[in-house]
Amino acid sequence: MSPDDPVRPVAAPAQLFDLTGRTALVTGASSGLGHRMALVLAHAGATVAVTARRTDRLEALASLHPAIHPFTADLSVAADRERLAADVEAALGTLDVLVNNAGLSHSSPIEAETLADFERMIDINLTSAWHLIKLFGVGMVAAGRGSIINIASILGIVGATPSKQTGYPAAKGGLINLTREMGLQWARRGVRVNAICPGWFATEMTDDLLSTEAGVGFVERNTPLQRAGLVHEIDGALLLLASDASSFMTGSVLTVDGGWTAR
Ligand SMILES: NC(=O)c1ccc[n+]([C@@H]2O[C@H](COP(=O)([O-])OP(=O)(O)OC[C@H]3O[C@@H](n4cnc5c(N)ncnc54)[C@H](OP(=O)(O)O)[C@@H]3O)[C@@H](O)[C@H]2O)c1
C-alpha cells in the first residue's frame, strides 16, 4: 500500500486477517506455540510448511490439516537451513510469511554456564533466525512482499533473574534488535519484519517450571494477569502480523505477556 491509495471503506474487518493463497513457514512446529501457529495459519487459508527435528511430530501435525507440509531439519546446522530453504521454495514458491519460532532455553547463572551452552543458545535462538531471514527474505524482497515474524521473548526485553538464565536472554535481545534493523533495511522493499514477545506459556519449554507448585506460584505472583498464557492466546498477535491487518507495522515488538513487561 502507498499513501496515495484510497482509504478503504469499512466492510468486513475479519477479511483483514484472511491468508487465502498465501504461503508460510513455521519453524519449531513440532510442539508448543509453533504447533499452534501452524494450525492457525492453515485455518486462516495459508499453505504452511512446518519444520523441526522430530519428523513423527511434524507428520502428526500435517495429518490435522491438508494445507500443512512437513520438512525435517536441525536448525542448529547451517547446511540443514540451506537445504530447508531450497526444499520449501521448490515446493511452495517464495514465502509470504516466515515465522522464526524454533527455540531452546537453558536456565543457569553465568558461573555454571559453559561456552558451549552459551553458543547453543545463540545458534538456535539467534543465528538460525538470522540465516532463515537471509535465505527466505531475498526471495521475498525480489517479490516485493512478505511478513517475517520473529518469536522472541519477554526475556529479550527485561532480565530473567530471579529465574537465572544467561545465553537465552542475550540471544532473544539480539533477535529483537535484529527485528528492528531488518524492519528498517527492508521497509522500502515491501517486506515487513516484526517480533512477538511471549510471556510465560505452558509448553515443553516451561515444563520443568510450570509442573511445580513453586513455579506456578512464581508465574502467578509476578504476572499482572496472575497466570501463564494459554497457547491459543498467541493467535491474535500472529494473525495480526502475518496478514495485511498489520500493513503499517514494521520493526515492531509486540508483547503477549499478561503485563509482565509493563511493571
Ligand atoms: N513457552 C514460553 O513460556 C515462551 C516464552 C517466551 C518465548 N518463547 C519462545 O517461543 C518459541 C516456541 O517455544 P515453545 O514454548 O513452544 O517451546 P517448545 O514447545 O519447547 O518448542 C520449541 C520448538 O523448537 C524446536 N527446536 C528446538 N531446537 C531445534 C533445532 N535445533 N532445530 C529445529 N527445531 C528446533 C523444537 O522442535 P524439535 O525438538 O522437534 O526439533 C520445538 O518444536 C521459542 O522461540 C521460545 O523461546 C516461549
120 lines ligand 1 (CB under 6 A): no
Is 14 inside any structural domain? no
Residue 13 falls within a domain, yes or no? no
Poorest-pLDDT segment among 2-16, 43-57, 222-236? 2-16
Q: How remote is the CA of residue 131 from the centroid of ligand 1, in Å?
A: 17
Rg (CA), the chain: 18
Residue ID of nearest Cα to ligand 1 atom 43: 28
pLDDT at 1: 65
**Are 255 and 151 within 8 A, CB to CB?**
no
Inform me whether the pLDDT recorded for 7 exceeds 90.
Answer: no
Range of the domain at 229: 19-258
Ligand 1 pocket, residue 229 CB under 6 Å: no
Is pLDDT at 8 greater than 80 in this prediction?
A: no
Residues 103-147 pLDDT 10s: 999 999 999 999 999 999 999 999 999 999 999 999 999 999 999
**Interval between CA 22 and ligand 1 midpoint (Å):** 24
Q: Which three cell numbers stand for residue 79?
A: 547446511
Q: What pLDDT was estimated at residue 2?
A: 66
Would you say residue 4 lies in a domain?
A: no
pLDDT digits (tens, 9 = 90+) for 173-216: 999 999 999 999 999 999 999 999 999 999 999 999 999 999 99
The answer as to whether 7 is a domain residue is: no
- Give the Å distance between the CA of 125 and the centre of ligand 1: 9
pLDDT tens digits, 37-84:
999 999 999 999 999 999 999 999 999 999 999 999 999 999 999 999
Please check whether residue 121 is in contact with residue 108, taking contact to mean a CB–CB distance below 8 angstroms. no
Is there a domain that residue 139 lies in? yes
**C-beta 200 within 6 A of ligand 1:** yes
pTM greater than the 0.95 cutoff: yes
Catalytic member of 17, 71, 136, 168: 168
Would you say residue 195 lies in a domain? yes
Model confidence band, residue 3 (pLDDT cutoffs 50, 70, 90): low
Residue 5: inside a domain, yes or no?
Answer: no
Percentage of the chain modeled with pLDDT above 90:
94
Count how many domains the chain has: 1
pLDDT band, very low/low/confident/very high, at 31 (cuts 50, 70, 90) = very high
**Ligand 1 centroid vs 205 CA: distance in angstroms?**
7
Q: Is residue 9 part of a domain?
A: no
CATH number (domain holding residue 190) = 3.40.50.720
Q: Which residue among 26, 39, 51, 104 has the greatest number of ligand 1 atoms within 8 angstroms of its CB, and so is best to mutate?
A: 104
* Whether residue 101 has its Cβ less than 6 Å from ligand 1: yes
Q: What ligand 1 atom has the least distance to the C-alpha of 80?
A: 32
